[in-house]
């Protein structure tokens, strides 16, 4: 008997770096195909999935600022990177027979936003995966924050962040192999310890709306389904 899903409607935030594999830049098509298969397996079990993809694999405003460039201009370029990533993922989903629709990730404070939200929810209920494309272009309201807002608006059971590591650590485990790994944390722990789960605005949005944040490795085979079934390796924040 298949174990039931603990979290059924989820918003999955994928870092742009998660699409790189072992590359130092760009997109690894094989990695994107594996991620699409992970999402397809979850949908086959009845999960309703929305996805927001970052653009750090192609263009990072932070990196531009570090070299003396204009951070805001860099973030606008990052918006284009998120669109490229989103279209690539949507195409990979369609190749594994999962209907995928690309909508805007950027919230618009108008009647159009309410309509867009209702349409996205209806598609998800019908089994389509919604890929929200486009970063915010605002260095103070990142793709993480935009994804958290979408998770709240869509009344998701959980806000998932798929990364290259299997949870939250006290330090970067690539730098310190002895870093402590956490199974669970409070929202306040993440903020106070500056654990780099995602930006503070995103964590605060999740906290204020009681949406658990789950950090896991999207690269581990079967990881998405195992998280939804509460059988895998991950860190849960706030549950």
Is 134 flagged in the annotation as binding? no
169 is in an annotated binding site: yes
Annotation-wise, does 139 bind a ligand?
yes
Burial class (CB in 10 A: 0-12, 13-18, 19+), 65: middle
116/111 Cα distance (integer angstroms): 9
Q: How far is CA 116 from CA 99, 110, 112, 120, in A?
A: 18, 10, 6, 6
Tell me: is residue 201 an annotated ligand-binding position: no
What's the CA gap between 208 and 110, in Å, rounded? 22
140 annotated to bind ligand? yes
| Residue 176 annotated in ligand binding | no
The verdict on whether residue 231 carries a ligand-binding annotation is no
- Alpha-carbon span 48 to 157, nearest angstrom: 10
Joined together, the tokens standing for residue 98 give: 């999962």
Q: Is 141 annotated as a binding residue?
A: yes
Specify whether the CB–CB gap between 236 and 213 falls below 8 A. Answer: yes
Q: Which of 19, 17, 42 shows the shortest CA–CA distance to 30?
A: 19
- Contact residues for 96 (Cβ-Cβ < 8 A; gap 6+): 33, 36, 37, 40
The answer to the question of whether 138 is labelled as a binding residue is yes
Ligand-binding site membership of 196 (annotated): no
What is the spatial distance between Cα 116 and Cα 69, in angstroms, rounded to a whole number?
Answer: 35
Residue 163 labeled ligand binder: yes
137 is in an annotated binding site: yes
CA 13/CA 6 separation, integer angstroms: 18
Pick out the residues of the known binding site for UMP: 55, 75, 136-143
- Residues flagged as binding site: 13-16, 55-56, 60, 75, 136-143, 163-164, 169, 172
Write out the binding residues for ATP. Answer: 13-16, 56, 60, 163-164, 169, 172
């Amino acid at each position: 008997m298949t174990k039931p899903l603990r979290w059924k409607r989820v918003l999955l935030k994928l870092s742009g770096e998660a699409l790189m594999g072992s590359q130092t830049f760009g997109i690894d098509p094989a990695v994107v195909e594996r991620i699409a298969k992970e999402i397809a397996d979850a949908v086959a079990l009845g999960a309703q999935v929305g996805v927001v993809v970052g653009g750090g694999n192609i263009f990072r405003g932070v990196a531009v600022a570090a070299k003396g460039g204009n951070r805001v201009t860099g973030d606008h370029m990052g918006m284009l990177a998120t669109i490229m990533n989103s279209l690539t993922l949507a195409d990979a989903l369609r190749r594994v027979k999962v209907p995928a629709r690309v909508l805007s990730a950027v919230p618009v404070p108008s009647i159009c936003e309410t309509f867009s939200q209702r349409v996205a929810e209806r598609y998800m209920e019908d089994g389509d995966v919604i890929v929200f494309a486009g970063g915010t272009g605002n260095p103070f309201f990142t793709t993480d924050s935009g994804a958290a807002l979408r998770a709240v608006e869509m009344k998701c059971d959980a806000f998932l962040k798929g990364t290259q590591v299997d949870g939250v650590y006290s330090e970067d485990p690539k730098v310190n192999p002895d870093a402590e790994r956490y199974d669970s944390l409070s929202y306040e722990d993440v903020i106070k310890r500056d654990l780099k789960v995602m930006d503070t605005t995103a964590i605060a949005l999740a906290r204020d709306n009681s949406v658990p944040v789950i950090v896991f490795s999207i690269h581990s085979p079967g990881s998405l389904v195992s998280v939804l079934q509460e059988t895998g390796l991950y860190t849960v924040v706030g549950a």
